[in-house]
Amino acid sequence: DAKTTQPPSMDCAEGRAANLPCNHSTISGNEYVYWYRQIHSQGPQYIIHGLKNNETNEMASLIITEDRKSSTLILPHATLRDTAVYYCIVRAPEGGATNKLIFGTGTLLAVQP
């Protein structure tokens, strides 16, 4: 699996958009970008994933650059409950037994009142 690079921490004002970047310059053509988040002392929660097109769901939007070497997770209106560690992961959806989710250290997003 390709490695990802994320800033260790970010701040965001409540009600504003939170833009979390992720670099994955060695991503392969069949690898997707996944985002999970982990609120303190809880299990991670899936947010969104994409291959090359931008994706949006009820939680967030995912913008992937044309060369696929980086992406940005956007929380359009951050709330205090969005304070969490956000993990960017790349992996291929096929691959069977060796295709595991590998978590790095993520970005701690602190939403400020």
Residue 34 tokens, joined: 């996944």
Residue 21 tokens, joined: 């970047």
Any contact of residue 94 with another protein (CB under 8 A)?
yes
Give the footprint of another protein on residues 18-37 (CB under 8 A): 32, 34
Give the footprint of another protein on residues 43-82 (CB under 8 A): 43-46, 49
Any contact of residue 113 with another protein (CB under 8 A)?
no
Any contact of residue 7 with another protein (CB under 8 A)?
no
Report the residue number, 21 or 44, with the smaller CB distance to another protein.
44
Give the burial string for 75-107 (b: 16+ CB within 10 Å, else e): beebeeebbbbbbbbbbeeeeeeeeeeeeeebb
Closest CA to 2 of 74, 55, 69: 69
Q: How many CA atoms lie within 13 A of 112 on its CB side?
A: 5
Report the residue number, 64 or 106, with the smaller CB distance to another protein.
106
Any contact of residue 5 with another protein (CB under 8 A)?
no
Binding site residues, another protein, CB under 8 A = 32, 34, 41-46, 49, 87, 92-97, 99-106
